[in-house]
Amino acid sequence: MSAGKGDIGLIGLAVMGQNLILNMADHGFTVVAFNRSIEKVHAFLANEAKGKSIIGAESIQDLVNKLKTPRRIMLLVKAGDAVDNFINQLVPLLDKGDIVIDGGNSEYQDSERRTKDLAAKGIRFVGTGVSGGEEGARYGPSLMPGGNKEAWPFIKDIFQGIAAKADGQPCCEWVGNDGAGHFVKMVHNGIEYGDMQLIGEIYHIMSSIGISQEEMADTFEEWNKGELDSFLIEITRDILRFKDSDGQYLLPKIRDTAGQKGTGKWTAIAALNYGVPVTLIGEAVFSRCLSALKNERVNASKKLSGPSTKFTGCKKQFLGDLQQALYAAKIVSYAQGFMLLREAAKVHNWNLDYGSIALMWRGGCIIRSVFLGQIKMAFDKDPTLTSLLLDPFFLKAITNAQAGWRNVVATAVTLGVPTPALGTALAFYDGYRSERLPANLLQAQRDYFGAHTYELLGKEGTFVHTNWTGKGGNISASTYDA
């Protein structure tokens, strides 16, 4: 090691950057901090970082000079051009073997490109997912590093030192080559979209059948003691209980529109690109898009009619059905997410450890839950598991939840309450368990209008064309998968 003082440098002093630096310092690492605005560096050193093993840098060159070799420099800046701009400034100042880490929400294709480009220059690049928000960054995030594996031995102690712990194990392990780390983080965020949408739909149904907000909070508190124990259920309880300065509940005052930063959309696009039916996350993204059409919805609500049906069942029993519906749909969401991970791993030759990924999500991150421990156990028992739905634990769980789940979706339809995520999860489940689907008709239709050919049962791999009208010819179009 060289005479430099810093164990790691960090560029970007927004909320996540500052809290990660403080976390690193708490764990005995000396951090060199830099920000494009030098005033922000000075303010940080004078306040939050005062008295800690944190050194300020006045320039990129100063940052590089103050680091031990091989230098480890982490970027926590806006994804996209900003990352490339800082990398371009750093590269001429670095030596072969130095390490650049991107900890932002970058697209995994960018991390693939950067890993290859920097390797050609002798620089080891790491693209890492960081989850847990402000609190996670400060006290223990979930970290999902991927990229150039040669870098891992040099950053492992720092990353696993600052990561959240679950069952005594750090929620951080090497994910895979090139863009694997950011791909896993992308799927994590997609599942987060799905979980939030499912909880929102449950809340909407509760409101529609006359459950008071206090009762809702009590229900979520009870659910958080069992199989649904999770960070998102916990904060939903807290949000439902929160009252404004006027003594009224705050939640009903909040505008019913939701934004997005792109990672859920990226997951849905990746699912389409890889041909994996990640329907629930897709619906969660589209539901946010629909919520954004607030003015149109207000106008439509005055013109478009719905059912006049009122709920007449036993509310206590129905709350039990809602719990089962949420649990079953959550199982489907994670099953779809891991299907996408498996397909991407196959395409990119990533050797993903699915049990390890589930452990990384057990603590520190937004989707942390008891549920993930069962996923880890499922993949530990069978690393080749094609779907979580086929694991004995989840198979039994979804079987037991099925009646309540179906009743919730059917009831929501009769009441006119939209349940895109709960409904698509059930549709996926029914499709996945069906030995026969109507795709034979799709094949016939495509051959009828476009001579795309079809396969006959028992003769898989052999494509034939039929002259359906007697007017067409015997020439077929080239086959393709659709």
The annotated binding site for substrate is made up of 105, 131-133, 188-189, 193, 261, 288, 446, 452
Q: Using CB atoms within 10 Å of the CB of residue 2, give its burial: 0 to 12 exposed, 13 to 18 middle, 19+ buried.
A: exposed
HSE, side-chain direction, 13 A CA sphere, residue 334: 28
DSSP string, 31-60: EEEE-SSHHHHHHHHHTTTTTSSEEE-SSH
Q: Could you tell me if 291 and 256 are in contact, meaning their C-beta atoms sit under 8 angstroms apart?
A: yes
Q: Could you tell me if 417 and 324 are in contact, meaning their C-beta atoms sit under 8 angstroms apart?
A: no
Q: Is there a catalytic annotation at residue 116?
A: no
* Alpha carbon distance 19, 48 (integer Å): 9
Q: Which of 107, 173, 192, 201 is catalytic?
A: 192
Which tokens go with 387?
A: 């779907």
* Alpha carbon distance 267, 336 (integer Å): 11
Binding positions = 12-17, 35-37, 77-79, 105, 131-133, 188-189, 193, 261, 288, 446, 452
Which tokens go with 138?
A: 């400060």
Q: Using CB atoms within 10 Å of the CB of residue 462, give its burial: 0 to 12 exposed, 13 to 18 middle, 19+ buried.
A: exposed
Query: Could you tell me the strand order of the sheet in which 99-102 lies?
Result: 54-56, 31-34, 8-11, 72-75, 99-102, 124-131, 142-147, 176-177
CA distances from 285 to 105, 114, 289, 420, 430 (A): 17, 28, 7, 10, 22
Q: Is there a catalytic annotation at residue 185?
A: yes
Q: Which of 66, 185, 265, 330 is catalytic?
A: 185
Q: 3-state secondary structure string, 453-480?
A: CEECCCCCCCEECCCCCCCCCCCCCCCC
Q: Could you tell me if 143 and 24 are in contact, meaning their C-beta atoms sit under 8 angstroms apart?
A: no
Q: Return the bridge partners of 145, or none.
A: 128
Q: Return the bridge partners of 147, or none.
A: 126, 177
List residues with catalytic annotation: 185, 192
